[in-house]
A and B are shown apart, each in its own frame.
Chain A
Amino acid sequence: MTPITMHNKFRILTGALAIGAVALAGCSSSSNDSGSSGSGSSKVPLVVYSAQGYDHAMATAFQKATGIQVKLDDNSTGPLLTQIEASKNNPNWGLLWVDGATAFAGLDAQGLLQKGFEPNVNWNTLGTQSLPADKSYTPTGVTLMAALVYNKTKVKNPPTTWQQLISPQWKGAVGMNDPSQSGPTYPFIAGMMNYLGGVSQGETFYSKLKANGLVIHPTNGPTLQALTSGQIKLALVQSSAGIGATFGPGSDPHLAVRYLNPVTILPSAIGIDVKAPLAERKEAERFIEFVLSPAGQKVMQTGDPYGDSLYYPVISGVNPLPELPSLASVKTQVIDPYKWGPQEATINTWFDANIVR
């Protein structure tokens, strides 16, 4: 008989382990096949990459209305874009739904988006302003970047212009987000550069803001927390986050929101993966049409009532929620995502090295 050594016993154990793992992988591939194959059939699962607060509600409503199965990857914008970039040799997504047109312009420039689709809807002015010429993505609503949030019991006379933020009165009192961690913050920085006349003018403005004691926190939540704790007096955050912090459970009723002129429009938008199977792309188009339908707009306005639901609609006849300040007296601006999108990495790197540090 063959002697069994200590060595062989471990070999047996490792062999069993290996076989187990391979079997596990085999199970997975077969189970996954059943879910992802069938591009030729009429209904395939629609893979939705989304960073919207109401996406769970929307996925459920769409599935109920159409019978199309939705697989939802609900993540922050950064990880979603990382997933798309890392998997672009063999993409697994059907549509992407995030805030900020610059990211879509970047994906469009790489040829990753389907062009030429426009749903049959009546756009209002915000919608028309946000729709790209090549129709490579579709706006579904807009928020503003940045809203000025302050405690009205402590700040009786908030600033009325951007230039006042660099005055001694607000030394050490202003806080904003870091663009390398907060997706909506780059459009704000680009928007200020656009308003002031170019990148160098914008860099000068932010350098002066830093010299005046600008406080940087990673994202909307920590910046608002710095405001309520008293570390700062003025917070520059996404409008939906600022408004959401003023009412509802967990809010601070002493907070107020104001827009300084001009404020940059930040569209939330959907883009379709050009490499997805035809059936999935058709479903993605149906998803967009559903989102912009009256039923879809209702889901958007109720799905995240203290967060992303606080958006300005892009469809005629749909009113914003009553908590949103009127835009009648506010000057808004739209930045060209195809001009500012390609500069995102460079400007963020400059901001990180010179303003955050």
Chain B
Amino acid sequence: MTVSTESASGPGPATTGPGRRASDWIARRAGRLTAGRALGGLIGKPLFWVLLILFILVPCASSLLLAISPHLFDQQAPGQGSQWFTLTYLRQAFTGETAIAITNSLWVSGAAAGLGLAIGFPIAWLANRTTLPGRRLVAGSMWLILLLPSWLPALGWERIVQADGVMYRLGLNWPWLTHAIMGPFGVVMLLGLRSVPFTYLAVTAGLAGLGQEFEDAARVHGAGRVATLRLIWPMLAPAIWSALAIGFAETISDFGVAATLAYNSNFTLATYQLYANINNFPPSFPGASAMGSMLVAAVAIPLALQARALRGRSYQMLSGRTRQAVRRRLTRRGKVAALSGMGLFYAVALGVPGFGAVSASLLGDYGGSFSITLVNYRALFHQADQLGPLERSLGYGFISASLTVAGGFVAAWLLAQRRQKSSKVLDFLLLAAVALPSVVFAAGYIFAFNLPLWSRFGINLYQTATLLVIAYTASSLPTNARVLVGAVSQLQPSLRDAARTHGAGETMAWARGVLPVVSRPLVMAWLLTFCGVFLELPISQLLYAPSNPPASVAIEDNLSNYHFGVGMAQSVLAVCIALAAVALVMGGYRLLAPAGWRRIGAATRG
């Protein structure tokens, strides 16, 4: 259904005198507005595609093409190779250590995504649809998990279970636990736990659109709990597949666990092998690109499964009539079981890494004794320019998150148009970008945006805050769009049409008809990007503007040099600041958003 701007305009026409002039003015203005909108409409979607191509496809392609054309960006100072075309590096990716690393990454990513779903789905359901005590804390804790860089939980676990670690010093002689954690099981566990927030966010967004009416309808027709679940489960398919796809792509591109727990367990993952290629001297960009190509290609697996599962179905069920779900009352036994499970999850996901990070920041002598000291925090506050990087990262996070949510919403909307070929292309492009390790993505930015050609046009973007923010945004947009697509695919066009029918203008129709129902997912998506950008390292290291280091670079500087304790203190402080920012945004939404916005997707006590 379409609605003309005429029908939405204000008072009726005047025929003479000043009224006529006013009428003409309104008509001319409306005409200009309409023409402007038409122009915007005409160029909007193509321009969005141009931006995607420029800031996602071109950098990715610049990096990946090196796998078959090492000479491409190497003409003025050869060092990477003289071949314009070769398959040598791709062949190498299928042999020896590299092949083992890729195989490890593939099965670990699949297992971690599955584990993330197995844990994340019940948590999302318990927090959103039951009377679980403390359920209000679940969302905040998910942000805390997302805020932690993946190496932090890995280091925390290592400190506990390694030989002569905390566990042994406490008299717990459990070598079986050491072997379990310091190996594939521990790697899958940590990466799986890291996938839980993605599942939680995607399923929560999906549950928001799943009103009580569906459950009621099933129960009215005599369905039991299992039958009701069988009815509801397919409705959540977009969210579930999104969660699996993100979990797989995020895991396969993770570097934090690969470089710590997996590395120290002699269990090589592809991202570490790729890093070794780039960090060697001279770096082998073609070798890294070949591995990056393999990882990107691997994303086709969850995408194909997702496409097969969702083919030809509609999931539009979120409307203004969506009824608040009724929270299911948990029995005493149910509460005990649920709380025990949640407690175990938080102990493993937050307790151990929290203990690891805080204890490392409070021990002065490289952890040699158990004497607590604030010496690292004192040193932190006495070092010059320690707050600047944190302020900078807050700013970068704020801008990137805002741009990403706007772009992510558009991308999610385009993705929701499943019948179009362009949405399939977009789907692969975005998920492939998630799978591409950040260090390859960042190198692609240097190749693409530091060409002499750009300088000739007076555009020097490399090592400016602008390119850094663009890269943050481009790298966050794929995940963001995928988180939002669950909610956006549930939107019914009637929402906006209803507002327009009732006289709202274009903007007001969107603000009153659509924004309320997606406001919660949008806030979550904003926070997701903010958390990801705030302590992002690989892109920051390669693209940051000299003299303006972000927080992650400053922390890495301390950790990799001689100030391990100071670096850990800085990490703890950074996480606290970011958590405060998250609390501020969530609190602000709770206080400032109209009650109706918060009601949509929420549940009432049963």
Q: Give chain A's interface residues, CB within 8 Å of chain B.
A: 1-21, 24-25, 27-33, 36, 47-48, 53, 56, 70-76, 78-79, 81-83, 85-90, 92, 102-103, 106, 110-112, 180-181, 186, 217-222, 224-225, 227-231, 240-241, 244-245, 249-252, 254, 304, 306-308, 344-345, 348-349, 352-353, 356-357
Contact = CB atoms under 8 A, between A and B. Distances in A.
B6 interface: yes
Interface string B536-557: 0000011011110100010011
Contacts of A87: 446, 450, 462
B379 A12 contact: no
B162 interface: yes
B48 A17 contact: yes
Given A78-B279, A85-B283, A249-B378, A240 B562 contact: yes
Contacts of A12: 37, 40-41, 44, 506
A245 B285 CA distance: 36
Contacts of B565: 250
B459 A29 contact: yes
Contact of B562 (A5, A29, A306): A306
22 contacts: A4-B506, A12-B37, A13-B409, A15-B39, A15-B40, A17-B403, A21-B470, A74-B549, A74-B557, A82-B279, A83-B542, A85-B282, A103-B281, A106-B281, A110-B77, A225-B367, A244-B562, A249-B376, A250-B379, A307-B562, A307-B563, A356-B266
A322 B547 CA distance: 32
Contact of B79 (A73, A85, A356): A85
Contacts of A48: 546
B51 interface: yes
Nearest to B407: A17
B281 A73 contact: no
**Candidate in B278, B365, B454, B459 with the most chain A CB atoms within 10 angstroms:** B365
A9 B510 CA distance: 9
Nearest to A47: B546
Contacts, number: 295
Interface in B443-491: 443, 446-447, 450-452, 454-455, 458-467, 469-470
A81 B384 contact: no
B381 interface: no
Contacts of B560: 76, 219, 221
Contacts of A78: 278-279
Contacts of B496: 6, 9
Contacts of A72: 546-547
A7 B97 CA distance: 50
Contacts of B546: 47-48, 71-73
A344 B280 CA distance: 8
A217 B366 CA distance: 14
Cβ-closest 4 pairs across A and B: A28-B466, A228-B368, A15-B44, A11-B44
A103 B279 CA distance: 12
Contacts of B44: 10-16, 18
B279 A180 contact: yes
Nearest to B541: A79
Nearest to B36: A12
A20 B47 CA distance: 11
Contacts of B544: 73
B281 A81 contact: yes
Contacts of A7: 41
Given A28-B465, A231-B162, A245 B562 contact: yes
B464 A31 contact: yes
Nearest to A252: B365
Contacts of A224: 366, 564
**Candidate in B50, B406, B493 with the most chain A CB atoms within 10 angstroms:** B406
B340 interface: no
Interface residues of B, number: 113
A251 B4 contact: no
Nearest to A112: B77
A75 to B, nearest CB: 6
Interface in B67-90: 73-80
Interface string B397-430: 0000001001101100110000000000000000
B5 A4 contact: yes
B45 interface: yes
Nearest to B543: A83
A251 B464 contact: no
B385 interface: yes
A254 B504 CA distance: 75
A154 to B, nearest CB: 11
Contact of B76 (A79, A88, A254): A88
B242 interface: no
A14 B279 contact: no
**Candidate in A30, A217, A221 with the most chain B CB atoms within 10 angstroms:** A221
B301 interface: no
Nearest to B378: A249
Contacts of B410: 10, 13-14, 17
A217 B544 CA distance: 28
B562 A220 contact: yes
B207 interface: no
Interface in B276-325: 276, 278-285
B566 interface: yes
B413 A245 contact: no
B345 interface: no
Nearest to A5: B2
A125 B276 CA distance: 35
Given A8-B41, A110-B79, A250-B379, A1 B259 contact: no
Contacts of B41: 4, 7-9, 11-12, 15
Nearest to B399: A24
A75 B365 contact: no
Given A90-B462, A228-B366, 20 more contacts: A2-B5, A2-B35, A4-B34, A8-B37, A11-B45, A12-B506, A15-B44, A18-B50, A25-B461, A36-B460, A78-B278, A81-B282, A85-B80, A86-B285, A225-B366, A231-B162, A231-B164, A249-B378, A250-B565, A357-B266
